[in-house]
Each structure stands twice: as C-alpha cells, then as structure tokens.
C-alpha cells in the first residue's frame, strides 16, 4: 500500500502507459477492498482448515491433534483396505440413494398439491413447511420415540395390525432405512418451500393456453410444470445431495453409527476417528476423500444435469 | 481516486495504531502478574477452582450438592463445577485446550482415559501433592487405588468408581419356581434360568447383554483374562491383545447359545432401552453398572435383585475391574489454585462425603471408612442391593487381570467389540466376529503405538 503512495506522489509528468497501469492497480485494490470481508472469512474458516486438513492427512497425530509421524500416503491407502471404511462408503451411497430421490419426490408431490388454489390451503402449506423450523436434534429425539422397540408408536401400530415388531434402529436390515425415513421427513420442509416458490413463479398464461388447446392435467404437468420448475429442481437436488453426504446429527442421535457400523456415514466416521479415537491423521484423509467425492459428483451433476435445465 | 488512497492510508494507520496499542497492553499485562499474586496472598480473596466433570442427570445433582457443601464449609476456596458432556466429549474438549490458560484447574476423566491424560503433558501428577502433604493413600480402597497406581505413582485421585453387576427380577424368578435369593452365577446357570423363566412366561426373555465394550472387558477380567498383553499394559506399552481365543470367544458363544434358545433379548448398544425393557418385564436379567442400583431399585414396579457378574463354568471367579473416573490436576496453574484444588480433592475423600456419594448414587465409597457411617448403615437396611456391589469389589482377587488394562486406544477397542457383539446378536458367525475383533484391535494398537512417535 505504501508503494502506491510513492508512485502517486512521484508522478509528475504525464505518461499514458504509467497512468493506465496505475489505474489498473487502483481498480484491483478497490476490488480487493470490496472482496476483503469474504476473503478474510473464507480463508479463516475454509481455506486454512482445508490446508491444515490436507497437511494432517499425511501424518499420525497424538491425542491433542499435533502431528507426530509422517506417513505419506499411508492414511489414504489404509482407507481402501479398511473393511469399516468401505462399509461406511457403501452406507453413505445407499443413504444418498434413499434420501435424495425420496425427499425430492415427496416434496414435489406435496408442493404440487399445495399449489392448488383452494380454501384454507395456507394451513396445509404451513403444515408441510413446518419441519423446517425443527432442529435436527429435536426431530431425532421425536423419531427415537417413534422407533422405540417396545413402546414406540410404529411398532405398536404394526402389532395392532398383526405384524411382528421391527427393531428399527437395532436391526442392521432396517437401521439405515429408518434413519433415511427420518431424514426425508426432516428435509421436507425446506425442499417443499423452495419447490412451492418455484411453482408459484410459473406464468399462469402457459396453463391458460394449454387449457384452450385441450391439454390434460398430466400433459400440462409433464410439458409445462416440470420443465419450468427445472432450475428449482436442479438447485434442490444439488443441495439435498450435498446435505445427504454431510449428514451427521441424526446419526449421532439415533444410532451412533450402529448396528454393526451399518449406519456409519462418512461424516460420522470422520467424527469418530478424530474425536473419539483421536486419530486425526486418518480422519483428515477421510475428510479429504469425502471432499473429492462431493466435488466430482457435483461437477458431473452440473455437466449432465444442467443440459436438461430450462432457464426462462 | 485520491479519496480511495486516503481511505487506504487511513486504514493502514488504524491497523498500525491497533498493533501499537496491543503491544502496550501486552507490556502492561506482563508487569501485572507479579502484582496480582502479591495482592492474592495479602488479601483474603477466595481462590477460584474450575472443576470440569461429566456427571449428568441425577449424578450431577448429587455432585453439585457436595460442591455446594464444600463451598459453604470454608471461605478460602470457591469450587465451580462445570458439566462438560459425556466422558468422551469432556476429554475431547480437554485435549484441544490442554496446557493453555483455558484449561480447568481440575477435571474428572474416565478410567480408560488415564493413559492419554498421562501422555497429554497438560497434567500435574497428584503424587506431587501426596508427597508435599504426606497424604496417606493407604486409607483408600485397595482395589481402586490399584487401578490408578501407574509405575508406583499416582497421577490422579480416584473419585467415582463402579463395577458391573447383574440385575434380576425377583418376582419373575419366584413365578418360575427359581430361588430368588440364589441368583445364577455362571454363564451356564444363566442360560438354564432363562429357559425356565421363558417356559413359565413366554413373553419374558431371559437375559439381555447390552453391546457395550466395557461389559466385554469386565466379563474377560472376571475369568482372569487380560485385555492387553504386557500384563495389561502395566509393565510395558501393549503391543497386542492379551486374551486367548478360548477366553475371547466364550462371551460370543454364550450369547449365541442363548440366541439359539431364544432366551436372549437384543437391545443393541442402547442401555436406556434395555433398562426400559427390564422395567416393562420384557426381560428378566441384565448386566449394568452398579451406579444405576438406586434408580433401578427405586423405580422398578417389582422386586429387584442385584448379583455378582457371571463367569464361565469351567473358570474361577476373579472379580471385576473398577470402572468410573478419577480427578486430574492441571499443570501451568498458580500454586495457590492447585493447592485449593488439592484441598477439595481431599475433602471429596472424607468418609462423610463418600458416604453421601455412595448412598446417593451407587458408586463405591473410595474411602472404606465411609461404610461405617450411619447414613450408609441405614441405607443398607433399607436397600441391601447397594451392598452387593461393595461385596463384589472387596471379594475381587487382586491380579493384573482385575487391575485393568492401561492403553490409550481402549475407547476405540470398545467400539470394535461393540460392533462384533452386535454382529453376533443379529445372527452373525462367531468365528468371523471374533476374528474381526482380534484383527481390528491389533491394528488399532499398532496404529496408536506408531502415532506416539516413540
């Protein structure tokens, strides 16, 4: 900054080249000034931790997270031979597969229902969006009661109907599905709201002219609603996708990664490795691996998905 | 354009000005500490001791009462007890601030954190204060101090200790024609009792074993097995597991037999659900920490019996490893503060306090003199189940097995055994589950040893 001052005060004769250069520099500094808040915040909370994580992933650490032994790529290689990590990888992909389409389909259905102009529809819109106001912790506690093996409502209903009760959170066959169901429920509010907003912003005249042409309801849905909603859908899919990969709260509350590591999603596995086993090196390697996976999948999604998106 | 430059320059000046101000403040602070301590010794300002603990719920209430009575009893020291979440969470928090001024004066850490606390470098062994003060550790319960004596040194002060016991439904035993005052003592007897109970009442399962690594360790110790080699890590840092295949498998096979009999109730890793199932008379027997005795006996709608931890028929009963936690002193604190914390630790060991703690929770009295206190005698009259846990500890044979293992990766080992137990509960093969335990535990031990970089 002092250099700028020197250049400016020394400048006496008019030199076009210098003037342009000076202007560019000032413009650059001005731009940086405006960017400064986000640059500072990003470096403090994202870039520095990212760099630190990459650094740690090449080390073994002591209990307080200070690196002790340099091991190179070993932490990464160990990931792919560890049966527990491979299992958590599988669980994560399954979880994404259950929750993303589940959330999108259910909330799309609800949004289309709530988009109808009926008396008292406001009540339903509020109701459908209400899960947005419930924290993950509160929702998990609520679902934990529903899933309780003996006194939970779900099992009581099953028994009343003459079925065997299910060990929702203790049976390895069911646990991931149970956590997925509660996650879909938690996600509904937000996705519903965004999709309803998307539906509301579609121009009425499109439907009017389709009506005049005699198009059926489902034809309109397929040919008008979905294409016009595609930017919203794309946004919602990307966000739920990334959220699903980063799920932590409900796992910690409902299953703690069990039974038999069946619901040990990667983020929970990172938490366990770092803050319960105090192995910050392997945990960092897992974190970097997750970062790369999400990055790649998001890129692929943008490449493939964006072609189908119709912007007005 | 000039304006922008002016703003930039102004910003520069402010930044430099701030730094100078900081520097001068630093200088002031550096001068201050000396005067601070002088003031402290002269004035009668009470010393503040920050005490981190992991006692939630009813246990926290009992602890807060003790702290309050200490603060009232004298005016030199004020102890501030701060709840820091579960043992795991509290230890994680401590690890991130160990050795800084944000560290508490003293802290409660669970027994399996002993090794990692010693390695953390942020602590002052209480041996220092024992020597200074001539404090007699011999007055405390022998089996408990055996655990916390590492290389003939005390690093921490034992505080709350419990052992696992078997809870059983006396009414259900009577209904099935079993003797409610003579509970099963071995794995095989438990299986037989489970079958009898289920024959009488098909809605009630015989036995529940929470998938909890601590219980697995205890069931190993009770048959005299070591968890880690090198004498459970007492003579040298462990390099691999210490139990034999027969010992390690016995617990899995026991569960498998009960599953085959259909007398086993699976509550997974959730202890609360298991206790709820016991209360709802869905299961007749379960293992849990003696710290729950009071609450289980108080709230069960039937008569509850408490018995010793079972063992396989072909083995001797060795007894139990103490579980629970001890109190650690941090280094880098002012001496006055440390001495105040030491005084509080000594207060906690007095018979009166230990008696109240024992009766109020079900944890042991660290100081055996507490058992002579009237409160304890009265409580035993009213609730004889409280005494079982003390008898079990006192009848424990002192050996490396029952002294318990010392290793910093035990929390991880617990999660390994837990998922293996769950595998067996859900019909998995015992041999594969056991092999997974051995392989994963040995790998974790190796990793932990390498990470220390010695």
User: pLDDT (tens digit, 9 = 90+) per residue, B430-442?
Assistant: 999 999 999 999 9
A69–B426 CB contact, under 8 Å? no
Q: Residue B24: which pLDDT band, with cuts at 50, 70 and 90?
A: very low
pLDDT at position B41: 46
- With respect to residue A255, please indicate whether it lies within any of the assigned structural domains: yes
Residue range of the domain that includes A10: 1-35
Q: What is the C-alpha to C-alpha distance for residues B73 and B70, in angstroms, rounded to an integer?
A: 5
With CA atoms as reference, the chain B residue closest to A60 would be B451
Q: Is the dihedral of CA B389, B394, B400, B406 positive or negative?
A: positive
Q: In terms of domains, do A12 and A87 share one?
A: no
- Give chain B positions within 8 Å (CB) of A66: none
Q: Is the dihedral of CA B104, B106, B112, B117 positive or negative?
A: positive
Q: Which of A34, A12, A37 is nearest to B4 (CA)?
A: A34
- Give chain B positions within 8 Å (CB) of A36: none
Helix (H, G, I), strand (E, B) or coil at B265: strand
E strand or H helix at B9, and its extent? helix B2-42
Q: B73: distance to nearest CA of chain A, Å?
A: 37
Q: In terms of domains, do A27 and A100 share one?
A: no
- Give chain B positions within 8 Å (CB) of A84: 440
- With respect to residue A46, please indicate whether it lies within any of the assigned structural domains: no
A1–B444 CB contact, under 8 Å? no
pLDDT at position A11: 53
Among A59, A259, A272, A282, the strongest candidate for a mutation testing the B interface, having the largest count of B CBs within 10 A, is A259
Strand partners, B304: B169
Q: Low-confidence residues of chain A, pLDDT below 50?
A: 1, 5-6
Q: Is B141 exposed, middle or buried (0-12, 13-18, 19+ CB in 10 A)?
A: buried
Contact assessment for residue B274 and residue B210, using Cβ atoms and an 8 Å cutoff: yes
Q: What is the C-alpha to C-alpha distance for residues B123 and B116, in angstroms, rounded to an integer?
A: 11
B426–A4 CB contact, under 8 Å? no
Contact assessment for residue A99 and residue A184, using Cβ atoms and an 8 Å cutoff: yes
A4–B120 CB contact, under 8 Å? no
Q: Residue B178: which pLDDT band, with cuts at 50, 70 and 90?
A: very high
pLDDT at position A115: 86
Helix (H, G, I), strand (E, B) or coil at B255: helix
Cα within 13 Å of Cα(B93), Cβ side: 18
Q: A281: distance to nearest CA of chain B, Å?
A: 9
Across the A/B interface, how many CB contacts are shorter than 8 Å? 109
Residues B141-153, mean pLDDT to the nearest whole number: 82
Q: In terms of domains, do A13 and A135 share one?
A: no
A151–B444 CB contact, under 8 Å? no
A260–B266 CB contact, under 8 Å? no
Inform me whether the pLDDT recorded for B26 exceeds 80.
no
- Give chain B positions within 8 Å (CB) of A151: 276, 280
Inform me whether the pLDDT recorded for B120 exceeds 60.
yes
pLDDT at position B454: 63
pLDDT at position B18: 43
pLDDT at position A10: 54
B451–A281 CB contact, under 8 Å? yes
Q: Which residue has the higher pLDDT, A63 or B420?
A: B420
Q: What is the C-alpha to C-alpha distance for residues A311 and A198, in angstroms, rounded to an integer?
A: 12
Q: Which of B246, B249, B248, B277 is nearest to B264 (CA)?
A: B277
pLDDT at position A7: 52
pLDDT at position B3: 55
Q: In terms of domains, do A141 and A280 share one?
A: yes
pLDDT at position A12: 58
Contact assessment for residue A187 and residue A103, using Cβ atoms and an 8 Å cutoff: yes
pLDDT at position B31: 40
B415–A68 CB contact, under 8 Å? no
B422–A259 CB contact, under 8 Å? yes
Q: In terms of domains, do A106 and A239 share one?
A: yes
- Give chain A positions within 8 Å (CB) of B120: 63-64
Say if strands B283-289 and B205-208 run parallel, antiparallel, or are unpaired: parallel
Instruction: Say whether the peptide bond before residue B71 is cis (omega within 30 degrees of 0).
Output: no
Contact assessment for residue B399 and residue B390, using Cβ atoms and an 8 Å cutoff: no
Inform me whether the pLDDT recorded for B408 exceeds 60.
yes
Q: Is the dihedral of CA B271, B276, B279, B280 positive or negative?
A: negative
Share of residues in chain B with pLDDT > 90 (%) = 39
Q: Residue B294: which pLDDT band, with cuts at 50, 70 and 90?
A: confident
Q: B147: distance to nearest CA of chain A, Å?
A: 22
pLDDT at position B8: 52
B6-42 in b/e form (b: 16+ CB < 10 A) is eebeeeeeeeeeeeeeeeeeeeeeeeeeeeeeeeeee
B95–A63 CB contact, under 8 Å? yes
Q: Is B329 exposed, middle or buried (0-12, 13-18, 19+ CB in 10 A)?
A: buried
For residue B329, what are its two tokens?
């002193």
Contact assessment for residue A220 and residue A139, using Cβ atoms and an 8 Å cutoff: no
Q: In terms of domains, do A154 and A287 share one?
A: yes
Q: Could you give the angle at the alpha carbon of B166 between the alpha carbons of B165 and B168, nearest 5°? A: 145
- With respect to residue A184, please indicate whether it lies within any of the assigned structural domains: yes
Quickly name the fold that domain B47-161+323-381 has: D-Maltodextrin-Binding Protein; domain 2 (3.40.190)
- With respect to residue A213, please indicate whether it lies within any of the assigned structural domains: yes
Inform me whether the pLDDT recorded for B13 exceeds 80.
no
Q: What is the C-alpha to C-alpha distance for residues A48 and A46, in angstroms, rounded to an integer?
A: 6
A63–B116 CB contact, under 8 Å? yes
Q: Which of B387, B169, B421 is nearest to B290 (CA)?
A: B387
Q: In terms of domains, do A107 and A26 share one?
A: no
Strand partners, B107: B52, B328
Residues in CB range of A80: below 8 A, 6 or more apart = A86
- Give chain A positions within 8 Å (CB) of B96: 64-65
- Give chain A positions within 8 Å (CB) of B118: none
pLDDT at position B333: 85
- With respect to residue A20, please indicate whether it lies within any of the assigned structural domains: yes
pLDDT at position B188: 94
- Give chain B positions within 8 Å (CB) of A261: 419
pLDDT in tens, B376-407: 888 888 888 888 888 888 888 888 888 888 88
For residue B340, what are its two tokens?
């105040």
Chain B interface residues (partner A, CB cutoff 8 A): 1, 4-5, 8-9, 12, 88, 92, 95-96, 98, 116, 119-120, 211, 266-270, 273, 276-277, 280, 282, 408-409, 411-412, 415, 418-419, 422-423, 425-426, 428, 436, 440, 444, 447, 450-453
The most confident of the ranges A36-45, A54-63, B43-52, B113-122 is A36-45
Contact assessment for residue B448 and residue B440, using Cβ atoms and an 8 Å cutoff: no
Dihedrals φ, ψ of B109, to 5°? -130, 140
Q: Which of B225, B229, B242 is nearest to B399 (CA)?
A: B225
Helix (H, G, I), strand (E, B) or coil at B256: helix
Q: Residue B42: which pLDDT band, with cuts at 50, 70 and 90?
A: very low
Quickly name the fold that domain B164-319+409-451 has: D-Maltodextrin-Binding Protein; domain 2 (3.40.190)
Residues in CB range of B208: below 8 A, 6 or more apart = B264, B265, B266, B267, B274, B277, B278, B283, B285, B286, B287
- Number of domains within chain A: 2
A60–B96 CB contact, under 8 Å? no
Residues B120-141, mean pLDDT to the nearest whole number: 88
Q: Residue B89: which pLDDT band, with cuts at 50, 70 and 90?
A: confident
DSSP-assigned letters across all residues of A178-195: HHHHHHHHHHHHHHHHHH
Q: What is the C-alpha to C-alpha distance for residues A272 and A87, in angstroms, rounded to an integer?
A: 15
- Domain residue spans of chain B: 47-161+323-381, 164-319+409-451
pLDDT at position A197: 92
pLDDT at position B56: 81
Of B1, B120, B444, the CB nearest to A26: B1
Q: Could you give the angle at the alpha carbon of B435 between the alpha carbons of B433 and B436, nearest 5°? A: 65
Q: B79: distance to nearest CA of chain A, Å?
A: 26
Q: B419: distance to nearest CA of chain A, Å?
A: 5
Quick one: DSSP state of residue B391? H
A2–B276 CB contact, under 8 Å? no
Q: By mean pLDDT, which of A192-201, B115-124, B300-309, B370-379 is the weakest?
A: B115-124
- Give chain B positions within 8 Å (CB) of A18: none
Of B119, B277, B419, the CB nearest to A63: B119
Inform me whether the pLDDT recorded for B287 exceeds 90.
yes
A172–B426 CB contact, under 8 Å? yes
Of B88, B280, B419, the CB nearest to A260: B419
Q: What is the C-alpha to C-alpha distance for residues B180 and A82, in angstroms, rounded to an integer?
A: 48
Q: Is the dihedral of CA B284, B288, B290, B293 positive or negative?
A: negative
Among B270, B272, B437, the strongest candidate for a mutation testing the A interface, having the largest count of A CBs within 10 A, is B270
Q: What is the C-alpha to C-alpha distance for residues B383 and B251, in angstroms, rounded to an integer?
A: 31
pLDDT at position B97: 82
E strand or H helix at B354, and its extent? helix B351-361
Same fold flag, B47-161+323-381 and B164-319+409-451: yes
With CA atoms as reference, the chain A residue closest to B268 would be A170
């Amino acid at each position: 900054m002092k250099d700028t001052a020197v250049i400016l005060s020394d400048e006496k004769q008019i030199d076009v080249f210098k003037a342009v250069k000076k202007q560019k520099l000032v413009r650059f500094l001005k731009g940086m000034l405006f960017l400064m808040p986000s640059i500072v915040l990003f470096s403090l909370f994202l870039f520095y931790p990212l760099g630190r994580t990459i650094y740690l992933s090449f080390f073994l650490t002591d209990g307080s997270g200070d690196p002790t032994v340099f091991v190179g790529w070993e932490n990464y290689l160990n990931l792919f031979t560890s049966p527990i990590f491979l299992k958590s990888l599988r669980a994560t992909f399954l979880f994404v597969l259950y929750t993303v389409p589940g959330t999108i389909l259910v909330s799309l259905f609800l949004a289309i229902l709530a988009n109808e102009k009926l008396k008292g529809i406001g009540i339903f819109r509020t109701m459908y969006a209400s899960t947005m106001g419930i924290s993950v912790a509160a929702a998990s506690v609520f679902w934990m009661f529903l899933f309780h093996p003996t006194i939970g409502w779900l099992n009581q209903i099953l028994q009343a109907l003459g079925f065997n009760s299910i060990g929702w959170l203790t049976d390895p066959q069911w646990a991931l599905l149970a956590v997925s169901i509660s996650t879909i429920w938690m996600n509904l509010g937000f996705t519903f709201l965004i999709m309803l907003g998307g539906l509301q912003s579609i121009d009425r005249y499109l439907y009017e002219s389709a009506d005049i042409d005699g198009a059926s309801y489902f034809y309109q849905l397929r040919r008008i609603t979905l294409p016009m909603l595609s930017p919203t859908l794309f946004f919602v899919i990307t966000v739920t996708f990334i959220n699903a990969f980063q799920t932590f709260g409900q796992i910690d509350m409902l299953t703690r990664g069990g039974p038999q590591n069946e619901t040990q999603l990667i983020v929970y596995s990172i938490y366990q490795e770092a803050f319960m086993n105090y192995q910050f090196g392997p945990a960092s390697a897992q974190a970097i691996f997750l970062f790369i996976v999400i990055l790649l999948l998001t890129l692929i999604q943008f490449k493939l998905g964006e072609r189908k998106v119709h912007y007005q | 354009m000039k304006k922008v430059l002016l703003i930039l320059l102004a910003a520069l000046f402010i930044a430099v000005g701030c730094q100078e101000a900081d520097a001068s403040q630093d200088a002031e602070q550096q001068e201050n500490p000396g005067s601070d301590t002088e003031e402290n010794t002269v004035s009668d300002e009470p010393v503040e001791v920050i005490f981190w603990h992991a006692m939630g719920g009813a246990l926290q209430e009992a602890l807060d009462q003790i702290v309050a009575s200490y603060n009232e009893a004298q005016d030199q020291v004020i102890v501030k007890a701060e709840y820091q979440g579960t043992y795991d969470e509290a230890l994680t928090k401590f690890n991130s601030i160990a050795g800084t001024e944000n560290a508490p004066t003293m802290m409660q850490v669970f027994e399996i954190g002993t090794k990692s606390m010693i390695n953390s470098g942020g602590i002052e062994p209480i041996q220092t204060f024992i020597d200074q003060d001539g404090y007699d550790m011999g007055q405390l319960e022998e089996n408990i101090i055996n655990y916390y004596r590492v290389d003939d040194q005390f690093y921490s002060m034992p505080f709350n200790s419990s052992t696992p016991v078997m809870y059983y439904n006396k009414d259900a035993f009577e209904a099935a024609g079993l003797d409610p005052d003579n509970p099963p003592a071995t794995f095989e007897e438990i299986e037989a009792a489970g079958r009898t109970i289920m024959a009488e009442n098909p809605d009630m399962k015989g036995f529940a074993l929470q998938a909890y690594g601590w219980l697995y360790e205890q069931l190993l110790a009770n048959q005299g097995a070591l968890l880690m080699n090198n004498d459970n890590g007492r003579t040298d840092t462990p390099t691999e597991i210490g139990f034999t295949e027969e010992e390690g498998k016995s617990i899995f096979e026991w569960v498998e037999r009960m599953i085959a009999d259909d007398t086993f109730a699976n509550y997974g890793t959730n202890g609360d659900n298991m206790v709820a199932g016991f209360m709802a008379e869905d299961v007749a027997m379960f293992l849990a920490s003696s710290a729950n005795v009071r609450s289980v006996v108080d709230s069960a709608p039937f008569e509850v019996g408490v018995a010793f931890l079972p063992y396989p028929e072909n083995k001797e009963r060795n007894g139990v490893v103490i579980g629970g936690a001890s109190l650690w002193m941090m280094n880098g604190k002012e001496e006055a503060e440390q001495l105040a914390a030491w005084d509080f630790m000594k207060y906690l060991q007095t018979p009166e306090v230990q008696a109240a703690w024992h009766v109020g929770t079900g944890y042991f009295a660290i100081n055996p003199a507490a058992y002579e206190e009237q409160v304890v005698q009265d409580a035993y009259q009213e609730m004889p189940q409280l005494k079982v846990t003390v008898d079990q500890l006192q009848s424990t044979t002192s050996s490396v097995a029952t002294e318990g293992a010392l290793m910093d990766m035990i929390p991880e080992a617990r999660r390994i055994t837990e998922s293996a137990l769950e595998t067996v509960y859900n019909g998995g093969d015992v041999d594969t589950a056991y092999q997974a335990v051995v392989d994963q535990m040995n790998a974790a031990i190796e990793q932990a040893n390498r990470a220390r970089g010695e």
